[in-house]
Structure 1
Amino acid sequence: MSTDAVAQIGAADAAAQAARSVAGVVRLQPGLKGLIKQFAAQAWTRTTGRDVPDIAGVDVALTELQVDAEVRIVVTIDHHAADVGRKVHDAVAAALENTTGRPAVVRVRIVGFELEPRYT
């Protein structure tokens, strides 16, 4: 596995952790590309000796100038979706900029709602 792929997975892991830390996010939801990427997890484990981070629902592309990310989230019904999306955007952008040292372009997609309220 290339150094770029390891850096990309590291950035995606930072983004996933940041997104999950936002109140109202139930889970991240992988798209088709994310499901296919799960098959590559074995190569990560063989290369690093560690389990692949749970980055389902996060796609990251690193360029020399910036980092592009798409995060797909499921939001709980007892939070305002637009507020959750904005907070996820801000948290992920900060995490990626801190991890990569590059400006981040982040897209957040709310792909579903959890209809059972979460009382915390």
Structure 2
Amino acid sequence: MTTDAFSEVRVEAPVVAAVAAQAACATPGVIRLEPGVRGLVSSLVRVGKQRLTSADPAPSEGVRVRRSASGALSVQVDVVISADRPASVVGHAVQQEVSRVVFEQTGQMVDEVSVTILDIEPEQQ
């Protein structure tokens, strides 16, 4: 039996943020994500909501996701990188990896990935 009914699948921002965080952390040159003050506040709110519903929160500190009224998806990532690679190369790689992995795992197209490099740690000797 077939049906012509369509249903909408919408992946919520916390899920997209967790996927984006994993993708950013897996990018060569990224040491870690940094939440910053704004990220800490939103992270505490998200974790509180998930704990109230007995859900284990996926780590997404340092990532913020916004969806515009038109449905456009914007991801902001705050990272600390290693000094052994140029910042522009790492930033661009994070943009590409976040866009690719979010689409692969959620089916959601990312319209914009903004990367803020908060620190560059010296090379390990």
TM-score (norm 2): 0.80
Structure 1: which 5+ residue stretches go unaligned? none
- Would you say the 8 A contact 1:30–1:58 is kept in 2? yes
Residue 44 of structure 2 corresponds to residue 44 of structure 1: no
Q: Which has the higher helix share?
A: 1
Alignment of 1:8-87 (within 5 A): 8-40=13-45, 41-47=47-53, 49-63=54-68, 64-87=70-93
Alignment of 1:89-104 (within 5 A): 89-98=95-104, 99-104=106-111
Greater displacement, 9-18 / 71-80: 71-80
Change in CA separation of 1:97 and 1:66 when aligned onto 2, cut-off 3 Å:
farther
State the secondary structure of the residue aligned to 2:20.
helix
1:34-81: CA deviation from partner (whole Å, max 9, x where unpaired): 11123221221222x332111111000123432101101101111221
Matched residues in 1 for 2:109 and 2:29: separation? 27
* RMSD after superposition: 2.0
The answer to whether the Cα contact below 8 Å between 2:75 and 2:110 also exists between their aligned partners in 1 is no
TM-score when scaled to structure 1? 0.83
- The number of aligned residues is 113
Which one-letter code corresponds to 1:21 in the other structure? A
**CA offset at residue 100 of structure 1?**
4.4
Q: Which residues of structure 2 form unaligned runs of 5+?
A: 1-9
* One-letter amino acid of the structure 1 residue matched with residue 124 of structure 2: P
Aligned counterpart, 2:115: 108
Rg (Cα) greater in structure: 2
Q: CA deviation at 1:96?
A: 2.5
Deviation digits for residues 86-105 of structure 1 (CA, Å, limit 9, x no counterpart) = 11000011122332423431
